[in-house]
């Protein structure tokens, strides 16, 4: 620092006053901070007391935070052919809208092959259809020009246009169950009830037959059959 006098500011931004450079340097040493010249072209030069290392750290942290939230505009490219049909053309237009909604620019190109180079007007017709499909969504940033074996234009987002927001459905709460059943679920429930009742009837029938056995006869009831076979007691065999 070559100036004889400086205007000194403390750590809180308060004005201390004009003093010699040596006095300002001694005051910085007493407070354990650095003496930084912030405005060398002023008369006298303006200096400030601060922690230089901490100041540089905070500045780098702010730059990193700003870089995280910064959106870099990219140039996407969509390529087509002169004989692209209407359905594929609509798909390409929707993809361009998606890119524009993300804040990017799109280069739309029509590539020629072989004898198609003799009819460049076909590529311009395709680009005109794309521009008509993007009306109100995008704006023409660069008019169609020939680039070797292709004709291309650049489209950017139209001012004031916002991409449509996608509808989101809230997830069901814990413990909630749907109150309506589909036809298939009702049919399955009916079939299950019917099968359960039939099985119950078969089991009940088998128990009643077994319970009606005589004291001197043993009854064998085959499952699923109405026929009964009787055997004589063991003493009469």
| Residue ranges of domains in the chain, CATH in brackets | 5-67 (3.10.20.80), 75-157 (3.30.110.10)
pLDDT value at 208 more than 70: no
Q: State residue 170's pLDDT score.
A: 53
Neighbours of 112 (CB within 10 A): 19
Higher-pLDDT residue of 158 and 213 is 158
Tokens read off for 188:
């399955």
Strands 46-50 and 5-9: parallel
| Interval 93-111: pLDDT, tens | 999 999 998 888 999 999 9
Instruction: Tell me what the mean pLDDT of segment 47-66 comes to.
Output: 89
pLDDT value at 156 more than 80: yes
Phi, psi of 119 (to 5 degrees): -130, 70
Q: What angle do CA 181, 187, 190 make, to 5 degrees?
A: 105
Phi, psi of 196 (to 5 degrees): -70, -40
In the 3-class helix/strand/coil scheme, how is 201-224 assigned residue by residue?
A: HHHHHHHHHHHCCCCCCEEECCCC
Q: State residue 175's pLDDT score.
A: 59
Kindly list the distances between the CA atom of residue 185 and the CA atoms of 40, 168, 172, 178, 181, in Å, as whole numbers in the listed order: 83, 27, 20, 12, 6
pLDDT value at 220 more than 80: no
pTM over 0.75: no
Q: State residue 221's pLDDT score.
A: 46
């Amino acid at each position: 620092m070559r100036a004889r006098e400086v205007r000194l500011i403390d750590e809180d931004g308060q004005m201390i006053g004009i003093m010699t450079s040596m006095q300002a340097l001694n005051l910085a040493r007493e407070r354990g901070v650095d003496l930084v010249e912030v405005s060398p072209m002023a008369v006298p030069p303006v200096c400030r007391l601060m922690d230089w290392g901490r100041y540089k750290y905070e500045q780098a942290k702010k730059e990193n935070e700003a870089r995280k939230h910064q959106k870099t505009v990219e140039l996407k490219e969509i390529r087509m052919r002169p004989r692209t049909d209407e359905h594929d053309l609509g798909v390409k237009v929707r993809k361009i809208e998606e890119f524009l909604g993300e804040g990017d620019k799109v280069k739309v190109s029509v590539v020629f092959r072989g004898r198609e180079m003799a009819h460049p007007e076909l590529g311009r017709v395709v680009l005109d259809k794309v521009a008509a499909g993007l009306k109100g969504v995008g704006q023409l940033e660069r008019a169609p020009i020939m680039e070797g074996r292709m004709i291309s234009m650049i489209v950017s987002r139209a001012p004031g246009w916002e991409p449509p927001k996608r509808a989101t459905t809230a997830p069901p709460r814990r413990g909630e169950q749907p109150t309506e059943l589909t036809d298939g679920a009702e049919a399955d429930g009916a079939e299950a009830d019917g099968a359960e009742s039939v099985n119950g009837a078969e089991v009940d029938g088998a128990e009643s037959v077994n319970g009606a056995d005589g004291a001197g006869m043993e009854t064998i009831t085959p499952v699923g059959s109405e026929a009964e076979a009787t055997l004589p007691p063991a003493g009469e065999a």
